[in-house]
Structure 1
Amino acid sequence: MLSIPRDLWVSIPGNGENRINTAHFFAEAEKTGSGPAAAVRTVHENFGVDVDAYVRFNFEGLISVVDALGGVPIELETSTGGLSPGIHVLDGESALAFVRDREGSDDFFRMAHGQIFIEALLRKMSDPRAWPLLPGAFISLIHHVDTDLAPWVWPRLLVAVLRSGPGGIDARIISREMVQGFTTAEGAQVLAPDWSRINPILFEMFAQ
């Protein structure tokens, strides 16, 4: 799992250079539903990574899944996201607030929060005591998800996640040491990728 800063300045197929998150925006503005494919193409052309499938879900989906699981406990070593050190059980609304929090305007904090939460969510799902709640969480999810994954893949994916657990996922972030901030001619504050530092991570994770 690789988290990419949304302000990363890259080549957008058919739209020149811009923030990486504009690939989805431009495509959706032109044709509804084309955003995920455009995002996949952008990742492939800039990172050289083949993306086999996409899953897109909205904020309501996150809230409903967390609530269906009865909340998700996270353990923090330091204060972050408005929470003190220790264990906190997040309901849907507080989980959304945590993963969206950027502690000012720093997107790197948001990515870190997202990975903290995903690991906590996987830990909750791997707990046998939560297994009776998984069907309800899945039903909540499918009402808010858009994906090109075949229906028969979902059970296999769930089993793989449960078997691997949170410690079985290689989670990385394109960190602030891998980018250089600069201002575009239009005055936008963006991040230029340092490929000499990013490419080794891509090779380690994807052998590409």
Structure 2
Amino acid sequence: MSEENKPTYLLYPDWDPLAETQPVQVKRPPRRRRTSALILGLILGILVALYLFAPLRTNTLILGIDRAPEGTYLARTDTMILITIFPLDPYIGMLSIPRDLWIQLPNGQNDRINTAHFFAENSEPGTGPEAAKQAVMHNFGVDVHHYVRFQFDGFKDFVDALGGIPIQLEEPAAGYPPGNYVLNGQQALAFVRDRQGTDDFFRMSQGQLFLRGMLSYLTKPVNWIDLVKAFPTLMRSVDTDVPIWLWPRMGIALLRAGPDGMDLRTISREMAQGFTTSQGAQVLAPNWTLINPMLMEMFGQ
């Protein structure tokens, strides 16, 4: 065969004239990778579930303080509510503590429980919440992990930023006849602090009634946009040591329980005996025989 008649494909020794007619080989992802991804997803799911629903109780002391000198928290606690959250059930309990309850303070002296915050802040600014926590732990025998402290003026602004809070009264309270109402900030503040014609026990009940109404409002998804808008107003008047990673866990428990699933209690008048101190102050002596069983039910301690 002459040079002119040689097949041209011999000039390309790697060329296969049948290659275009052969099936294309596609590499399949290794089965090991898919298995690893599934295992990783399962582990992450378990960790998230443990984070949200682990049987770990969180107790937080809510402190509402009176008017304080500008730029300070130097005031007594007008409101004290001990909240316990147990996500697994879920269980959310709220115990209102009378501000005139006569106890032993962390400094060793006997006084009203609402003075613990004031004396500590007066001695060293910033130590009030810890002193209030210690006062509750020492006298109630309940671990207090965190605190949330707010000023009532900020509370009023927060309610206004939400556009008001709906409440339902089954019986007369704070001058309102039974019925449905939407309270603005000023009205809400007057409602939770009203003591006209009643006493501190009625005031605590009204505070819990309003709190239930607020939580009912905030747990409805349709109102979450209002919460987002009002959140900066809330943060300007709130001081807390609750870590940010704990808020989702507490929020999920709150949503699961719902406002009607919360256990709201007070130290009632049957659990405290009124008396007058040697200085003439009218205070309440706790009856621990009646209080302790309630603490065991709510806090497991």
**Worse overlay, 39-48 or 6-15:** 6-15
Quote the residue 2:35 is aligned against.
none
Quote the residue 2:299 is aligned against.
206
Quote the residue 1:151 is aligned against.
244
Displaced runs of 4+ in structure 1, greater than 3 A?
none
Amino acid at match of 1:117: F
- Alignment partner for residue 171 of structure 1, among 256, 260, 264? 264
Deviation at 1:199, TM superposition (A): 0.4
Question: CA offsets, 1:5-42, max 9 Å, x none?
Answer: 01000010114111000111110111111110000000
Larger Rg: 2
Deviation at 1:105, TM superposition (A): 5.9
Relative distance call for 1:112 and 1:105 in structure 2 (3 A) is same
Quote the residue 2:54 is aligned against.
none
Equivalent residue of 2:146, what SS? coil
- Alignment partner for residue 191 of structure 1, among 277, 284, 287? 284
Quote the residue 1:21 is aligned against.
114
Give the unaligned 5+ runs of structure 1: none
Amino acid at match of 2:205: A
Give the unaligned 5+ runs of structure 2: 1-93
Higher helix share: 1
Quote the residue 2:223 is aligned against.
130
TM-score (norm 2): 0.67
Deviation at 1:129, TM superposition (A): 2.0
TM-score (norm 1): 0.95
Take 1:131 and 1:63, find their aligned partners in 2: how far apart are those partners?
19
- Alignment partner for residue 32 of structure 1, among 122, 125, 139? 125
Take 2:254 and 2:189, find their aligned partners in 1: how far apart are those partners?
22
Equivalent residue of 1:181, what SS? strand
Quote the residue 2:101 is aligned against.
8
Deviation at 1:67, TM superposition (A): 1.6
Quote the residue 2:68 is aligned against.
none
**Worse overlay, 154-163 or 178-187:** 154-163
Percent identical residues? 58
**Worse overlay, 36-45 or 11-20:** 11-20
Amino acid at match of 1:60: D
Equivalent residue of 1:75, what SS? strand
The count of corresponding residues between Structure 1 and Structure 2 is 208
- Listed as ranges, the matches of 1:13-162 within 5 Å are 13-104=106-197, 106-162=199-255
Equivalent residue of 1:83, what SS? coil
8 Å contact 1:99–1:113 — kept in the other structure? Answer: yes
Equivalent residue of 2:98, what SS? coil
Question: CA offsets, 1:73-125, max 9 Å, x none?
Answer: 11111111111110010011110110011134611111011100010001101
Take 2:206 and 2:158, find their aligned partners in 1: how far apart are those partners?
18
Over the aligned positions, Cα root-mean-square deviation in angstroms equals: 1.3
Take 2:294 and 2:230, find their aligned partners in 1: how far apart are those partners?
33
Equivalent residue of 2:263, what SS? coil
8 Å contact 1:125–1:162 — kept in the other structure? Answer: no
Which one scores higher on RCO, CA 8 angstroms, separation ≥ 6? 1
Take 1:105 and 1:147, find their aligned partners in 2: how far apart are those partners?
32
Equivalent residue of 1:185, what SS? coil
